[in-house]
Amino acid sequence: MNEYWPWLVLAGLGAFHGLNPAMGWLFAVALGLHRNSRVIIMQALPAIALGHAASIAIVAGAVVLTGLVIKAQALLAGGGILLIGWAIYHQLYGHRHRVRVGMRTGLAGLALWSFVMATAHGAGLMVLPALIPLCLADSPLGATAAEGSIGIALVAVGIHTAAMLVVTGAIAVAVREWLGLAVLRSAWINFDWLWTAGLALAGIILLVSAHPS
């Protein structure tokens, strides 16, 4: 069981990220309504997933590279501190971002928007507790291990993104076809709070696992 949990966490967090209206499905639905087209929703969803994946991949790449030069324990501790700092930043200043992409955007703009949203929200950092053990597992052999880590990191990003895309796509279709946007008024719970809690929790998990037992 132990070797599966990081994968489950990756997929679970993917689902959580996909659930958040601010991460993309709502934008896809809005574009569909504006352009009176179901096709645009089906085009928007992969673009959004691509931007999200790029943001996660940068963090995964950083883990693999940093793992080559510092000890796992230091990486865990550093990641933990970074996450808690990000949680505080997100709580205090998360609403202050410049808006750069509007309703007339193309798919490239949408992917960029998704990348910026995921990065600013620390989506990649939130998956560190799953990424670090996967990417650093049994790596005493330098270069060969690094290549293996890159492969594992890519699979990790893929699994997370696939889960995110499935959930965000399902919600987009459900809202567009059956639920209607009125559902926003009651069902849009405060993801910012959940998100901040998620970041802080991930930080604490890292700090605890960094502590020599």
Query: What is the x/- site pattern for other proteins, positions 72-111, by CB under 8 A?
Result: -----------------------xxxxxxxxxxx------
Q: Which of 68, 70, 189, 197 binds other proteins (CB under 8 A)?
A: 189
Count of positions on this chain that bind other proteins (CB under 8 A): 30
Q: Which of 16, 27, 115, 195 binds other proteins (CB under 8 A)?
A: 27
State the DSSP code for 97: P
Give Cα separations from 99 to 40, 103, 116, 117, 185 (angstroms): 22, 11, 10, 10, 23
Q: Which of 37, 193, 197, 211 binds other proteins (CB under 8 A)?
A: 193
21 is a contact residue toward other proteins (CB under 8 A): yes
Q: Are 118 and 16 in contact (CB under 8 A)?
A: no
Task: Looking at residues 108 to 167 of the shown chain, list those that interact with other proteins (rule: CB under 8 A).
Answer: 113
197 is a contact residue toward other proteins (CB under 8 A): no
User: What is the spatial distance between Cα 52 and Cα 59, in angstroms, rounded to a whole number?
Assistant: 11
Q: How far is the CB of 66 from other proteins (least distance, A)?
A: 32
Q: Are 153 and 64 in contact (CB under 8 A)?
A: yes
Amino acid at 82: L
Q: What are 26's two structure tokens?
A: 């709502």
State the DSSP code for 99: P
Instruction: Report the interface residues with other proteins, using CB under 8 A.
Output: 21-22, 26-27, 29-30, 33-34, 95-105, 113, 181-182, 184-186, 188-190, 192-193
